[in-house]
Structure 1
Amino acid sequence: MAKLFPKQDVRARRELIINGNPVRVLLMLSLPTIMMALVQSLIPLTDGLFLNNEAGYVVAAAVGFCNPIINMLNALSQGIATAAMAMIGQMNGRGDLAGVRRLSAQIVVFGFLAGIVMMPLSLLTAFIVSGTQEPELGHNILIYMSLYTLVLPFLFMSAIYNAIKNGTGQPESTFYRMIVLLALKVSFNTLYLTILKMGIVGAALASLSAYIMVVVWMYVDLFVRRGEMRLTLKHFRFDRESIRQLMKLGIPTMLSSMMINLGFFLINTEVASYGTVVLNAQTISSNINSMAFTLPSSIGTTVTTMVSINIAARSEKKARRAFFSGVVVSSVIALLLIGLFRVFSPALVRLFLNNPEQSEALKQQIYNIAVPALNIYTVSIVGFGIFSVVQGAFIGLAKTRIPLLAGFLRIWLFRYVFILAFRHLMGVYSVFWGNVFSNYMAALIFFIILMKSDWYKNVIYQDESEGIEQRQQDRRQAGTVPPKKEDS
């Protein structure tokens, strides 16, 4: 493990990112990120296996229906984390470790309080949404959403921890956290669902128990373990300017995440109109697909780190090379996954159909929908991977308003409108093909926008004259403006 993740302090990692070969650095930093993404994708996969095989298809469908709602509520943490990663990455690029520590402490406290503030809204949402579905499904939605309210502050802390570690070029730390979370989730799912047979209540308690233990571990890592990045709350006071900048950069990403997951919620509502069996089949295909989509898209996180640090260090050329390397690596991974999933999709779906209380006819009905859905979904992996890398570059450049537009167009214009336009012709399959269409269209359009953008425009320099001077220097090197005249 030490060979995969060489021990380096933050200064050494920064120097490697700035002065190392961008392709090699991308591969080195992406390895733990890809491994983390693989482990991360196993969490919904194992959750789905436990829910379908131990709790039944109605409970599994209810949890799948709730996921985009929870993600909407968790969108604020994603906005904070995205902004934090850009701000910390650029501050780290200047070599200001004391500033990185101060900013990180601000973000940790602010994020945890924000998670607590979101809890009443989660409860209110549980009551509203559950009343819109058929009684059996709605009852399970109400129980799960109400209990999951307790998990929200810990979700916020997890997102912020990832942002701090990724912003300082230490993605292996998030990998270790994800391994611990996966092991705890499997253990608590076994306890609550398999041994105690607690159904939908057990599903929520498994998440709560796992996240509590992980957050304790993260606190020790950030505030107790000795090192150059050890945080402290001694003499803590909120820095209004830091919080203002955090929200300025984070709100677009938060709104983007909310809009995306609102789109997913409406899509789930559309699928649920075909019945709980169809909703469960779609949830199974999504659980399996999480592995395929998470791996290539995880490259975007590494691209964010490399772009932000290189741009802050005044090296647009290396930032661009890091981006293009990310596109290639993401696409290669996606193509390999498409081949694997086309071969193994029937066997993977069968893993979710081992509940002895379900009839063979019901299992076959779920299978007949889930396998084609899975095969169609996998076609869009390449487009989604490229789209994620493009988003990662925009975030690294602190252009966080563009991901807001991208998320809106990808889900609402390209996908949801496609579904509404073709649902009478394709039925529920319009949902699956809409995913393919939206991912490739969004990848193409925003790749072009990124190529035409000024990469220095939003960089958080210590003073504006530094940024102006850097842009002029780059243009002189490119031959687009005359060289400076020497003083006579």
Structure 2
Amino acid sequence: MNFLKKSPADRRKMILEGNILSTLFILSLPTIIMALVQSMIPVFDGFFLNNYGGVLVAGAVTFSAPVINILNGLSMGLGSAGMAIIGQFNGLGDVKRVKHMSLQLLFFGLILGIISAPLLYFLAKILTNYVNPEVAPYIFQYLSLYSFVMPMLFMAAIYNGIKNAMGQPEATLIRMIMLMVLKLIFSFIFLKVFSLGAKGAVFSSFCSYTIITLWLYYDLFIKQQDYRLSFKNFRPDWASIREYIRIGLPSMLASMFVYLGFFLINMEVQSYGPKVLAAQGIASNINALTFTVPSSISTTVTTMMAMNVGSNNIPKAKDVYKKSLIMGAILSISMIVIITPLSRSFVEIFQRTIRDEEIISIATHALKIYNFSVFGFTLYMVVQGALLALGRTKITLAAGLLRVWGFRYIFILLTKHILGVNAVFWGNLFSNTICAALYIILFYKIPFKSDIIDLDHLS
């Protein structure tokens, strides 16, 4: 609780001068809890969709998730760039520049969020011509309506980047807990009480994110704090925005292409029918628990390393990286041991009212394979967090493409005639393991220095 009372200056001092392991744990704990909460949201969504929406609605939402994330990848990449850039200025103790860059990030993110809304609608129109005709109407309905949620989705990702860069990870945790509670309430109302199917799933998200966006505005612009923002006398600083594009574009493209890869993988899955697609969605939702929790320390790695690099404390930044790899390995192994024996029990939660043994069997089988891939994925994410802290986003772009396209998607195409839909499950394990090993080796080959700190020329 003492950590929550610390001022931004005290947190900065703790990150720059405190014990690495204790600081890593203190900063990671809210992020890990947030990851647990975040991973529970699709679990709850899946529970309501599978039990009260039916197989077709659940399959449509599963198929639509990576389509939405292709566009939302812009916000996630931009938020990561903000975390690195703002984090390094925070490491320098430049409060004025932290506020300035935060405002520019919000402005640019909002523009991209507004642009993404009609793009999602047009994607929905196009995709319905190429998918299983049984789920096509539900996919169009879900995606076209979800376009109204997109700008708020962007603001949430930008907020996370700003707060993590300021060393305030508990703020993102509070937001995520609020979102989970709101989604539970509205999913119960729209999916169970009113039985609105795909529409209900979107209405639940829209209402939840509307309330969250109002809270984000209060937290950033009204709440009394050292880093309180204000749009008074605000003017777009195109030099700062260009810097966000320079640092963020590779991460943005990486996120978009990664989710495009997931979309193409879903195209392979949906060809096996709605039940297989629904089973894949159940396994993915549960697997979010094992993936998100240990890999969540990647955010803390970026924050701590960015601030130490910004203050020119390179030896400590290197030490943060090494100890984070160890912590990530321990966490991922723990999650594998806990979740794997309970795989079928978790899957059956999604089949309470509409029990389908075929779906349960496929989902359980997929989940067990997915669980073991969390080890490689966690190490991969720790290295990625370190690269983002240094501003080496071009490398993260190449690695992201290699992981999903170079290894996973090609593995699926080469083995699907032998393994069938199992090629998707084994491809996950194969790509995450290989890329983690390559990423760790690569990290020791690049210069350990910032690609951001020359931002002093910005006004």
TM-score, with length taken from structure 1: 0.92
Q: Which amino acid aligns with 1:458?
A: D
Q: How far apart are residue 462 of structure 1 and its match?
A: 5.8
Q: How far apart are residue 136 of structure 1 and its match?
A: 2.4
Distance 1:375 1:324 in 2: 29
* Residues 169-208 of structure 1: CA deviation (Å, up to 9, x unaligned): 1111100100000000000001101111111100000001
| Structure 2 alignment gaps of length 5 or more | none
Identity of aligned residues (%): 45
Distance 2:32 2:58 in 1: 27
Equivalent position of 2:380 in the other structure: 387
Q: Is the 8 A contact 2:309 2:450 kept in 1?
A: no
Equivalent position of 2:181 in the other structure: 183
Q: Is the 8 A contact 1:122 1:146 kept in 2?
A: yes
Distance 1:226 1:463 in 2: 28
Q: How far apart are residue 463 of structure 1 and its match?
A: 5.5
* Residues 432-473 of structure 1: CA deviation (Å, up to 9, x unaligned): 111011001111111111112111141414659xxxxxxxxx
Equivalent position of 1:424 in the other structure: 417
| 1:456 equivalenced with 2:456 (yes/no) | no
| The one of 258, 263, 266 aligned to 2:261 | 263
Distance 1:50 1:189 in 2: 7
| Structure 1 alignment gaps of length 5 or more | 465-488
Equivalent position of 2:427 in the other structure: 434
Q: Which amino acid aligns with 2:267?
A: T
Q: Which amino acid aligns with 1:451?
A: Y
Q: How far apart are residue 34 of structure 1 and its match?
A: 0.4
| The one of 10, 28, 33 aligned to 2:31 | 33
Aligned to 2:134, the other structure's residue is in SS state helix
Distance 2:269 2:294 in 1: 26
Q: Is the 8 A contact 1:23 1:321 kept in 2?
A: no
Distance 2:455 2:45 in 1: 46
Shift in alpha-carbon separation, 1:462–1:274, aligned structure 2, 3 A: closer
Equivalent position of 1:284 in the other structure: 282
Equivalent position of 2:97 in the other structure: 99
Q: What is the CA RMSD across the aligned residues, in angstroms? A: 1.1
Distance 1:333 1:137 in 2: 38
Instruction: Please say which structure displays the higher CA radius of gyration.
Output: 1
Equivalent position of 1:467 in the other structure: none
Question: What pairs up with 1:134-213 in 2 under 5 angstroms?
Answer: 134-213=132-211
Q: Which amino acid aligns with 1:282?
A: Q
Q: Is the 8 A contact 2:183 2:208 kept in 1?
A: yes
Q: Which amino acid aligns with 2:404?
A: I
Distance 1:146 1:457 in 2: 41
Equivalent position of 1:228 in the other structure: 226
Question: What pairs up with 1:306-325 in 2 under 5 angstroms?
Answer: 306-325=304-323
Distance 1:161 1:61 in 2: 30
Q: Is the 8 A contact 1:311 1:459 kept in 2?
A: no
Question: What pairs up with 1:121-132 in 2 under 5 angstroms?
Answer: 121-132=119-130
Distance 2:134 2:181 in 1: 31
| 1:402 equivalenced with 2:402 (yes/no) | no
Question: What pairs up with 1:11-90 in 2 under 5 angstroms?
Answer: 11-90=9-88
Distance 1:39 1:159 in 2: 16
Q: Is the 8 A contact 1:387 1:443 kept in 2?
A: yes
Distance 1:93 1:172 in 2: 19
Distance 2:181 2:361 in 1: 32
Aligned to 1:337, the other structure's residue is in SS state helix
* Greater alpha carbon shift after TM alignment, 102-111 vs 276-285: 102-111
Distance 1:386 1:290 in 2: 16
Distance 1:452 1:172 in 2: 34
Q: How far apart are residue 134 of structure 1 and its match?
A: 2.4
Distance 1:79 1:275 in 2: 33
Q: How far apart are residue 304 of structure 1 and its match?
A: 0.3
Distance 1:200 1:227 in 2: 41
| The one of 366, 369, 390 aligned to 1:373 | 366
Equivalent position of 2:344 in the other structure: 346
Distance 1:181 1:89 in 2: 25
Q: How far apart are residue 419 of structure 1 and its match?
A: 0.7
Q: Is the 8 A contact 1:312 1:461 kept in 2?
A: no
Distance 1:301 1:41 in 2: 16
Shift in alpha-carbon separation, 1:239–1:463, aligned structure 2, 3 A: closer
Equivalent position of 2:243 in the other structure: 245
Number of aligned pairs? 457
Distance 1:407 1:317 in 2: 27
* Residues 14-53 of structure 1: CA deviation (Å, up to 9, x unaligned): 1110101111111110111100100000000100001001
Q: Which amino acid aligns with 1:48?
A: G
Q: Is the 8 A contact 2:132 2:270 kept in 1?
A: no
Distance 1:280 1:85 in 2: 35
Aligned to 2:135, the other structure's residue is in SS state helix
Aligned to 1:455, the other structure's residue is in SS state coil
Q: Is the 8 A contact 2:85 2:452 kept in 1?
A: no
Distance 1:375 1:216 in 2: 40
TM-score, with length taken from structure 2: 0.98
